[in-house]
Structure 1
Amino acid sequence: MTFTLATWNINSVRLREALVSRLMSEETPDILCLQECKCPVELIPLEGFRALGYSHVVARGQKGYNGVAILSKLPMQDVGGHDFATLGHARHVAGRLENGVTIHNFYVPAGGDIPDRAQNVKFGQKLDFLTHMRDHFHAEAPEKSILVGDLNIAPREDDVWNHKALLKIVSHTPVEVEHLGQVMDAGRWQDVTRQDIPTGNLYSWWSYRSPDWDSADKGRRLDHVWATPDISAAAHGSRILRPVRGWEQPSDHVPVFASFDL
């Protein structure tokens, strides 16, 4: 089986239904993982997506916040979603394909603006979420698995527009990078995007606050595709669709793609 998947923080699937449909029509990924859907599952606009061939849906929703969904052309079984850090948030869902590959879709908390858990509850929640992810994958070692999503951390120096300037900015602080590294080590996850594109600056997010995001290019790679070692060598064709950031009423994130021969 060969399939292509994409991960995209859509920042409201109802508001940006037309953009999701456009991506489905123009890029035709077999599987599309969305984060920050911002609605209960029953309000995800599935009718149009099904008309485009995405008839299989695994999702967890929440009114106005969070929310994750896997939309697939391929048959998929819902194999659960965990409430990491017991926040009561819809931030994880997993689906299993008929070939036994499990796809985890994550939306890690952003963490607020102050990188200090004593001053910022949201930052503490983010670190706790990552710690629980680490412990989960230590306890249940993943096999034949892909992990995607908005992990809200840009781990490498070339994953941000200015490493030194962002060392004290949430998403690139050393403590966050360390926690994400522990999650990777726990599941022996391989960074598929950087496996395919090992060098050079890569970004998947540009702030709405920038008046000219394209020319300023102050981006960060917050969206990731990982795989377990038993299937990581089957991954190829990684790409980040930067032009999507310029679509009308865009999300501040763009889709990240990878293909697998399994």
Structure 2
Amino acid sequence: MKSGSFTRQSILVALVIFFAIPLLGLSFWYKYVPKETGLAILFLGNSYTSNNSLPTLFQNIADSAGYDRPAVSAYTPGGYSFNLFLADPTAQALIKSGEKQWEVVILQEQSEIPAYSSVNSTLQRSSITAAVGLAQLIKQSNPHARIILFETWARDARLWRTNAVSTEGVGANADEMQTRLRSWYEEAANAMSAAIGEPISIARVGDLWQINYHSAHPLLLHDKDGSHPNPVGSYLAALEIFSEVYRTSLQKVQYQGEITSAEMTSLKNIVTQLYSTP
């Protein structure tokens, strides 16, 4: 076996084993979501969430799987971080507003802060404190809301080779950056859970991107800038968030948006690697 093949397969096996077990455990914390339930869902993020209308992709995926169309709102100012959301009157009002309380709130941190935090203890404390503050603010007005962290992805590996865009401070390569992202989101989830007394879920989008890029026939998920998602990348993100929200099989998902049927099948298979669906 070639050493390159061994490395790729080792990474895939490690990721699947490492994440499948805790994800299966979390699935028992939440009740099954009836198909007749049109959930009220709030997305707080930035351009990683707004690009290619990810919240709408999520709605269409849920709708096509037979669920009542979720009522989705999103606030996604460019470059926003958890600290900025916590200090933003618009975000605060949105969290507290609505005739119907939010049943799910999906939070996406700025894309580089978790990676920088790995080597900057001050930024680490600040960002985790902001995550806890957001969780507490959400639960004050929406006591029954599920909070889901939207784990983002590493920059395109090609950026480290071409130096077209600075990757200084976020890791030695894409895999190291993803490791840092994963570690930060897990630490944030643990801190938030301890503060509010209930589990925090993680939509492991970035880890699915990593699995894709280490597969034998990877799909391109990054846009031309090597940072933001293209339509295929946003679809994978929406599919993973759908899996995390509804805890159900992807077999009935019919909506494919701008991607091909073959791409949709491939992305479903990637998500299924991390989930044992009912």
TM-score under structure 2 length normalisation? 0.40
Ranked by relative contact order (alpha carbons within 8 Å, sequence separation 6 or more), the top structure is 2
Whichever structure has more helix as a proportion of its residues is 2
TM-score under structure 1 length normalisation? 0.42
Whichever structure has more strand as a proportion of its residues is 1
